[in-house]
């Protein structure tokens, strides 16, 4: 059961100690850039970003509209949608620092998997491209069609690359997962591109829990006891 009060207390306790150091670092890195003060505290900004990820909403705009209509009494002042997205993007470092601090000392392995495209030329020059023609192929990402390869990466809770693999551009992300995590035992977190009941079942047999968004027509798979006791509380299966 999601407990928003408990989550905010954890975040706020961390930033009570860390916020002064964080602002000092920002001023040193952006000494020539004016940082506009926000009505929301760093704790509130991070809390909203994490709460969205724990919610059932599929897009942030719908979540933030619900927040302003039903939960505005929890905050001193909620800005407009555009300003809120700007604040979350501006404080990605704070979110990352909070995540590293909370995961520090965890002995179990948590991995986050994703891929990125590596175009080798513009689409208009595909027919003339020769240098990487043996490994490059046409593929489609969320940004459209490209010609090249894909880099698949799994990162641990400290932002370190645990394993990586290269594939042709047309290879689906989901087909590279088993090759990427072969021989590992971990909790594997992924986005909607990796949703597959069959893949979850196969990885479960190897001792790997694949944790993604859950479709209504998918069967529930019991997580291991270690994940139920000590896994991250902000990500839903």
pLDDT tens, residue by residue, 144-186: 899 989 999 988 877 778 888 889 889 988 999 998 888 877 8
Residues 171, 226 within the same domain: yes
- Report, in this order, helix, strand and coil percent for the chain, each rounded to 5: 45, 20, 35
Residues 119, 36 within the same domain: no
Measured between alpha carbons, how far is residue 126 from residues 105, 117, 151 in Å?
A: 49, 16, 20
- What region does 207 belong to: left with phi over 0, alpha with psi -120 to 50, or beta? left
Residues 221, 138 within the same domain: yes
Residue 235 included in any domain: no
Residues 118, 215 within the same domain: yes
The conformation of residue 121, written as its DSSP 8-state character, comes to S
E strand segments, 54-160:
110-119, 137-141, 144-156
Q: Give pLDDT, residue 225.
A: 53
Which residues on adjacent β-strands are paired with residue 114?
153
Over the stretch 93-114, which tens digit does the pLDDT of each residue have?
A: 888 888 777 766 554 578 889 9
Q: Give pLDDT, residue 237.
A: 38
DSSP of 161-222, one letter per residue? EEEEEEEETTS-GGGGHHHHTTT---EEE--GGG--HHHHHHHHHTT-EEE----TTSPP-P
In this structure, are residues 155 and 162 in contact, taking their beta carbons and an 8 Å threshold?
yes
Q: Give pLDDT, residue 141.
A: 81
Q: Give pLDDT, residue 74.
A: 87
Residue 29 included in any domain: yes
Dihedral pair phi/psi, residue 41, rounded to 5°:
-80, 165
Query: Which residue, 62, 84, 103, sits at the end of a domain?
Result: 103
Residue 236 included in any domain: no
Query: Which residue, 82, 103, 124, sits at the end of a domain?
Result: 103
Residues 162, 205 within the same domain: yes
Residues 218, 117 within the same domain: yes
Residues 124, 217 within the same domain: yes
Residues 69, 119 within the same domain: no
Dihedral pair phi/psi, residue 60, rounded to 5°:
-70, -30
Q: Which of 195, 231, 228, 229 is nearest to 210 (CA)?
A: 195
Q: Give pLDDT, residue 219.
A: 62
Its domain, for residue 215, covers 110-230
Low-confidence ranges of the chain (pLDDT < 70): 1-2, 30-38, 103-108, 214-237
Q: Which of 37, 47, 38, 39 is nearest to 15 (CA)?
A: 47
Residue 213 included in any domain: yes
Residues 76, 135 within the same domain: no
Query: Which residue, 103, 128, 149, sits at the end of a domain?
Result: 103
Residue 31 included in any domain: yes
Residues 141, 161 within the same domain: yes
CATH number of 205's domain: 3.30.420
Residue 87 included in any domain: yes
Q: Give pLDDT, residue 223.
A: 55
| Angle of CA points 187, 139, 131, to nearest 5° | 110
Residues 150, 217 within the same domain: yes
Joined together, the tokens standing for residue 184 give 């590992």
Q: Give pLDDT, residue 55.
A: 85
Residue 237 included in any domain: no
Joined together, the tokens standing for residue 112 give 């986050």
Q: Give pLDDT, residue 72.
A: 85
Residues 26, 91 within the same domain: yes
Residue 211 included in any domain: yes
Q: Which of 116, 174, 117, 115 is nearest to 147 (CA)?
A: 117
Number of domains, the chain = 2
Q: Give pLDDT, residue 49.
A: 92
């Amino acid at each position: 059961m999601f407990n928003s009060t408990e989550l905010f207390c954890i975040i706020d306790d961390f930033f009570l100690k860390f916020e002064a150091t964080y602002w000092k670092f920002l001023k040193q890195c952006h000494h020539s850039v004016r940082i506009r003060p926000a009505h929301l505290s760093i704790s509130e900004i991070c809390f909203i970003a994490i709460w969205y990820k724990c919610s059932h909403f599929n897009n942030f705009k719908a979540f933030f509209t619900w927040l302003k209509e039903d939960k505005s009494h929890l905050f001193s002042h909620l800005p407009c949608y555009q300003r809120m997205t700007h604040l979350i993007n501006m404080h990605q470092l704070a979110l990352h620092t909070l995540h590293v601090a909370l995961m520090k000392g965890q002995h179990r392995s948590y991995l986050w998997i994703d891929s990125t495209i590596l175009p080798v030329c513009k689409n208009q020059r595909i027919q003339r491209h020769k240098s990487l023609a043996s490994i490059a192929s046409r593929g489609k990402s969320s940004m459209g069609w490209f010609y090249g390869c894909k880099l698949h990466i799994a990162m641990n809770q400290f932002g370190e690359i645990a394993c990586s693999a290269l594939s042709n551009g047309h290879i689906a992300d989901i087909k590279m997962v088993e090759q990427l995590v072969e021989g590992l035992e971990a909790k594997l977190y992924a986005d909607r591109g990796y949703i597959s009941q069959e893949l979850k079942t196969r990885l479960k047999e190897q001792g790997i829990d694949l944790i993604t968004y859950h479709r209504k027509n998918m069967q529930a798979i019991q997580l291991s006891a270690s994940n139920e006791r000590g896994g991250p509380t902000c990500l839903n299966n």
